Amino acid sequence: MPLELPWVRFAEWKRLYGDMIHLTLLGDHVLVLNSYEGCIDLLGQRAIYASRPKFLLAKFMGMGRLTTFQPYGDTLRRHRKLLHSALSKSAVTQFQPVQEEQAKWYLNTLTHDTKNYLENLRLLTGRAIVQATYGIEVKSVDDNYIVLAEEFIRSASIILSPTNNLWDAFPMFPYIPSWFPGASIKRVAYQTHQLIDRMVNTSIEHVKAQLASGEAAPSLVANTLESGQYAEGDITWASGILYFAGADTTYGVLITFIFSMLKHPEIQKKAQAEVDRVVGRGRMPTFEDREELPYIECIIKEIIRWSTITPAGVAHCVTEDDYYNGYWIPAGTTVIANTWAISRDETLYKDPERFWPERFEGEAGKDVIDPFTFALGFGRRICPGLHFVHSMAFIVIASILANFDISKALDENGQEIEPNESYTPGAVRVLEHFECTIKPRSA
């Protein structure tokens, strides 16, 4: 099992071994799917692929109660129903006022604080998710919920790195003491367990108190608690994953937008011309304009494809023996969708390394595979935040384009600084900090 950038290694192995690669991890079967067709056929269409591997470390951290780490079964079905009712394509429109308001908040920060433009972009995604989930208005990075949630994300990403997931191959793991060589990670896991309990319970209690006093702002948790249709435990753990699953990933989309505008000024100009034509220069873009801005939609699709924020997705597990293309796939096999290999597949995307929104433009663009059909997962486990991130990306991108010019930063000699393309390590692949100049387009 390659421990660094496994998706890149799997894509290299594709040339040697083909679309399906079988590995064994101390006797456990792992199947890597390198093709769009294989992922859709198995993960997208066969219900027996909708479970998860053991994720022993995640369970030690108390994360087993969260939707993402649930095996397929009744609890997962209840969580997914709840999340669908709040985040489906039509339901997500209820959060559009929050998203518009947050986009304006971000533009406002850009008028006086371009130095922290990325920190504020990250805070923007956190603010939007916390407000949509709990109705809590976040004022700064020092907000109690944000501090707890970020601390949780930091320790969770240490623990969930591919190296630590190797513990899944040790059935004796729960009985190994934390002083055992290499098992000290269990101590971090216990601490994270307490952190997540505090984070999730404090927020639910806050919403309950607000509901009792009649002051609760509309939110996913307030609405589902009030509906009386869901058990409190399901609401707690299905909503508790949203910041963890949505904040960094949505930020990954928005930072890629800024990066690609820096790299491709001609794309920025073309997109601004579209926004100016439809919206004019006297008001802010709104969701009403969305249908009229097809090039913005092409840019969003290209960001989703090119950035491949979760290049190896989240592993699935098959619960029954299966056969596919002449191969036997035993029950219990961990199945990894290498969405990195799909996004870089030359048979699907011409010149795949190139950031080129035009590939999705016009009639011909309709025949090109929409990255939303693979980059955010498959079938019964497809990302429930898909429509939330899609509309968030639209409003933030259109608003920035309408009001600001993004260009390369200059050094002390007035020379343009080429932005660095480096990525965070770990399962969520997000660009690291780079410098840029952001200027208002008018006084």
Query: Rounded CA gap, 272 and 398, in Å?
Result: 8
> Does 389 engage in binding with ligand HEM (CB under 6 A)?
yes
**Closest CB 396 distance from ligand HEM, rounded Å:** 13
DSSP codes, 353-369: TS--GGGG-HHHHTTSP
Query: Rounded CA gap, 305 and 309, in Å?
Result: 9
> Does 131 engage in binding with ligand HEM (CB under 6 A)?
no
Query: Rounded CA gap, 377 and 315, in Å?
Result: 10
> Does 67 engage in binding with ligand HEM (CB under 6 A)?
yes
Residue whose CB is less far from ligand HEM, 272 or 399? 399
> Does 103 engage in binding with ligand HEM (CB under 6 A)?
no
> Does 397 engage in binding with ligand HEM (CB under 6 A)?
no
> Does 310 engage in binding with ligand HEM (CB under 6 A)?
yes
The amino acid occupying position 276 is: D
Q: Among 55, 385, 406, 427, which residue interacts with ligand HEM (rule: CB under 6 A)? A: 385
Q: Among 103, 130, 279, 314, which residue interacts with ligand HEM (rule: CB under 6 A)? A: 314
Neighbours of 416 (CB within 10 A): 12
* Close Cβ partners of 129 (under 8 Å, ≥ 6 residues apart): 242, 243, 246, 247, 250
Q: Copy the structure tokens of residue 61.
A: 């951290």
> Does 285 engage in binding with ligand HEM (CB under 6 A)?
no
> Does 249 engage in binding with ligand HEM (CB under 6 A)?
yes
Q: Report which DSSP code applies to 51.
A: B
From 23-31, 92-100, 243-251, 327-335, span contacting ligand HEM (CB under 6 A): 243-251
> Does 313 engage in binding with ligand HEM (CB under 6 A)?
yes
- Summarize the annotated binding site for heme as residue ranges: 383
* Cα atoms found within 13 Å of the Cα of residue 352, Cβ hemisphere only: 18
Report the candidate in 427, 442, 379, 440 with the shortest Cα–Cα distance to residue 113.
440
Query: Rounded CA gap, 196 and 191, in Å?
Result: 9
DSSP codes, 66-77: SGGGPPSSHHHH
**Closest CB 319 distance from ligand HEM, rounded Å:** 14
Residue whose CB is less far from ligand HEM, 152 or 378? 378
Query: Rounded CA gap, 309 and 254, in Å?
Result: 11
**Closest CB 387 distance from ligand HEM, rounded Å:** 9
Cα distances from 304 to residues 8, 38, 310, 390, in angstroms, run 17, 20, 10, 10
> Does 126 engage in binding with ligand HEM (CB under 6 A)?
no
Size of the site for ligand HEM (CB under 6 A): 28
Q: Among 53, 126, 384, 419, which residue interacts with ligand HEM (rule: CB under 6 A)? A: 384
Residue whose CB is less far from ligand HEM, 72 or 186? 72
H or E element in which residue 114 lies: none
The H-assigned helical ranges of 166-286 are 185-212, 220-227, 232-240, 242-263, 265-279
> Does 68 engage in binding with ligand HEM (CB under 6 A)?
yes
Please give the radius of gyration of the chain, using alpha carbons only, rounded to the nearest integer. 22
Q: Among 146, 225, 342, 383, which residue interacts with ligand HEM (rule: CB under 6 A)? A: 383
**Closest CB 162 distance from ligand HEM, rounded Å:** 15
> Does 241 engage in binding with ligand HEM (CB under 6 A)?
yes
From 169-177, 273-281, 288-296, 382-390, span contacting ligand HEM (CB under 6 A): 382-390
CB 309 within 8 A of CB 385: no
Residue whose CB is less far from ligand HEM, 67 or 192? 67
Q: Among 267, 293, 375, 397, which residue interacts with ligand HEM (rule: CB under 6 A)? A: 375
Which stretches of the chain bind ligand HEM, using CB under 6 A?
67-68, 80, 83, 129, 241-242, 245-246, 249-250, 253, 309-310, 313-314, 316, 375-378, 381-385, 388-389
